[in-house]
Amino acid sequence: MEVKENVTNKIKKQILEDTKEFVFQTLNNEKSGHDWFHIQRVVNLTKQIAQQEARQVDAFVCEMAALLHDIPDEKLNVTPEIGKQRVEHWLKRQKLALVDQTAILTIVLNLSYKGGTNKVQLETIEGKIVQDADRLDAMGAIGIARTMIYSGHHGRPMHDPAKQPRTNMTLAEYRSNEDTAIMHFYEKLLKLKDTMNTTTGKKLANERHLYMENYLKEFFAEWNGEK
């Protein structure tokens, strides 16, 4: 039994290494903030949160989902279906057990925030962990930097006092790039704290949320010439 487990672990380790290379080659030159470094940070956060969980966690499913979570992203594919197929084909090529393929695919297809329009609740602890990790990387100092990079990439202005944050948006409206970098804080980033699933995720989110609030105070003070 121990020999079989060692063989299985060796195979999974190789699958993880192959998946890292696949994702690196796919996203290394991505310029909108969904690059390989983002993936690395989400993987590291996933591992950190998983280690703090009292419940049993499938570390392999967590890491695979964290690695692959942006491959089907609608912003990076011509159509959502093409993105889904890319992940499906990769998982099948690894000859993973169907239960693992299903677990990983379910996470990567359903963790996105989508402007708050995504109503799918991830039920597994692995899904909750990876979702928290991905959303944490949209908060704090990194979240601010990624917002500015994404805004510049898509030609969004930094700030326009005449524009106000939008509410009750459709996904198409959220993806329209008709907002500003500062509007994005109110339309997404400041809402993420209350979407966390895990105890560790909530703790880290509180810290990053406070950092963003302080940043906005400083931003508006400087914008208005108050300091």
Ranges of each domain in the chain: 2-223
CB 150 within 8 A of CB 70: no
| CATH of segment(s) 2-223 | 1.10.3210.50
Helices (H) and strands (E) in the chain, counts: 10, 0
pLDDT tens digits along 194-217: 999 999 999 999 999 999 999 999
pLDDT for residue 191? 95
Q: Provide mean pLDDT across the span 139-157.
A: 94
pLDDT for residue 3? 39
CB 173 within 8 A of CB 166: yes
Closest CA to 61 of 11, 101, 22: 101
CA distance 202 to 224: 33
CB 158 within 8 A of CB 181: yes
Closest CA to 138 of 172, 102, 187, 77: 187
pLDDT for residue 135? 96
Res. 115 pLDDT band, cuts 50 70 90: low
pLDDT tens digits along 26-55: 999 888 788 999 999 999 999 999 999 888
| Residue-wise burial string across 20-30, b where 16 or more C-beta atoms lie within 10 A, e elsewhere | bebbeebbeeb
Q: Is 196 left (phi over 0), alpha (psi -120 to 50) or beta?
A: beta
Average pLDDT for the chain: 91
* Residue 46 CA: distances (Å) to CA of 6, 59, 64, 80, 191: 23, 9, 10, 25, 20
Amino acid letter, residue 87: V
Closest CA to 126 of 144, 148, 100: 100
Q: Provide mean pLDDT across the span 74-90.
A: 87
Least confident of 3-7, 45-49, 105-109: 3-7
pLDDT for residue 54? 80
Output the pTM of the full model: 0.91
pLDDT for residue 43? 98
For the chain, the first-to-last Cα distance in angstroms comes to: 68
